[in-house]
Amino acid sequence: MGTVTMSNPNVLDHLNNPSPRTLGRSPLEWLERLQKPTVVHVAGCDRSRTRAMATLLHGNEPSGLFALHRWLQEQHTPEVNMLFLLGGVYPAKIPPAFSFRQLPEGLDLNRCFKEPFQSEEGAIAEAMLAELHKAQPECLLDVHNTSGTGPAFAVTITNDAEHQALTSLYTDRLITTDLRLGALMEYSEQEVPTVTIECGGAQDDQAHHLAYEGLVRYTSRADVLSLEKAEWDVAVLRNPIRVELAPEATIEYRLEPSGQADLTFPPDIEHRNFGIVSPDEPLGWVGKKGLSILTAISHNRTGNLEQVLRVRGGQIYPAQAIKAFMITTNPVIAKSDCLFYAVKATGEPIF
């Protein structure tokens, strides 16, 4: 972040130790009052240290903001100074609130944490990085929601004791990836241990609750970077592959295939999330095109799908014991993003 100190000072608003009155009675009221991406500073018991948390980088992922609103309303004094960065205020404010990931004509803010910072979102990203550089926090969390429902997990680009300890404040699953997208965690990692927290679905009360509980742990502990103090043992999943569906392929979620679709998954396939699926457990059904409608991609190349899945009697089975996650039952996401991610049952990459 060394070069990122000349950002425009008018890009962000600042709130210092906000009182309950300035926050509104609900997160929605607070959002109405926010005019720009906002930095919230809260003084801690130990004023020599700071921890940072970014959230709402995606305007339709409100758990972190809900948690922060509640936590600020309760007027806690954190163990150390806290720096909160609320990124996607503009998309979040578009009615109905918290429904737009990014502005309709805008860019995904969490892909803009890289040079040359030229777009409007790039300017926000650059200003956020400048705030982090100025505050020199000991660590940074970036709190998100997933698009479907499903359990919480963390994502990092580094796997060491500090990252596992931070992860354990929220969840016992850590995905590490060599994929680079221009996300906040990639840029900030150069200066400070950074963990992205996916709290679970944007509509899940459980996700909102976890975001709050995690925030209380993050702000109230003297030490959040030692593994001895960790809340849970963390299972690490390295470099998952993405299994993608061909754009022209059709998918159905049914208990039995209708014969019309190229791929059929049972409606409760989401229950497979993070569980181990053995080679004798069927995942779903393929149509006449077989597995040709699917592609398996690692962070840097297309791999051999036969290492992941195979077909017996029209049914799809894992080719080896796998752990799959972010399985979606939303056909739009299945087609536009990916069907699921997977690693070996051991947590190691499939390829």
Residue appearing with tokens 């309303």: 73
Which residue's Cβ lies closest to Zn ion? 144
Q: From the list 144, 173, 208, 272, which residue makes contact with Zn ion (rule: CB under 5 A)?
A: 144
- Positions of E strands within 24-125: 38-42, 46-55, 80-86
Q: With beta carbons less than 8 A apart as the criterion, state whether 68 and 39 touch.
A: no
Q: With beta carbons less than 8 A apart as the criterion, state whether 268 and 280 touch.
A: no
# residues contacting Zn ion (CB under 5 A): 3
By CB under 5 A, is residue 201 in contact with Zn ion? no
Q: Cα dihedral angle (21, 134, 208, 75), rounded to 10 degrees?
A: -30
Give me the least distance between CB of 58 and Zn ion, in Å please: 4
**Window 100-139: contact mask with Zn ion (x via CB under 5 A):** ----------------------------------------
Q: Which is nearer to Zn ion, 121 or 252 (CB)?
A: 121
Give me the least distance between CB of 260 and Zn ion, in Å please: 33
**Residue 338: count of CB within 10 angstroms of its CB:** 19
Q: Which is nearer to Zn ion, 23 or 89 (CB)?
A: 89
Give me the least distance between CB of 54 and Zn ion, in Å please: 11
38-42 vs 173-176, strand pairing mode: unpaired
DSSP state of 329: -
By CB under 5 A, is residue 221 in contact with Zn ion? no
Give me the least distance between CB of 144 and Zn ion, in Å please: 3
Q: Single out the residue of 40, 71, 42, 35 nearest to residue 54, CA to CA.
A: 40
Radius of gyration of the chain (CA): 21
Q: With beta carbons less than 8 A apart as the criterion, state whether 217 and 169 touch.
A: yes
By CB under 5 A, is residue 86 in contact with Zn ion? no
Q: Which is nearer to Zn ion, 50 or 110 (CB)?
A: 110
Q: Single out the residue of 104, 76, 79, 92 nearest to residue 17, CA to CA.
A: 76
CA angle 255, 258, 264 (to 5 degrees): 55
Which residues does residue 55 pair with via DSSP β-bridges, in sequence order?
A: 86, 143
By CB under 5 A, is residue 323 in contact with Zn ion? no
**Segment 266 to 295, residues that bind Zn ion, using CB under 5 A:** none
Give me the least distance between CB of 147 and Zn ion, in Å please: 8
Q: Which is nearer to Zn ion, 201 or 287 (CB)?
A: 201
Give me the least distance between CB of 114 and Zn ion, in Å please: 17
Give me the least distance between CB of 67 and Zn ion, in Å please: 15
Token representation of residue 226: 């030692």
**Segment 37 to 66, residues that bind Zn ion, using CB under 5 A:** 58, 61
- Which residues of this chain interact with Zn ion, rule CB under 5 A? 58, 61, 144
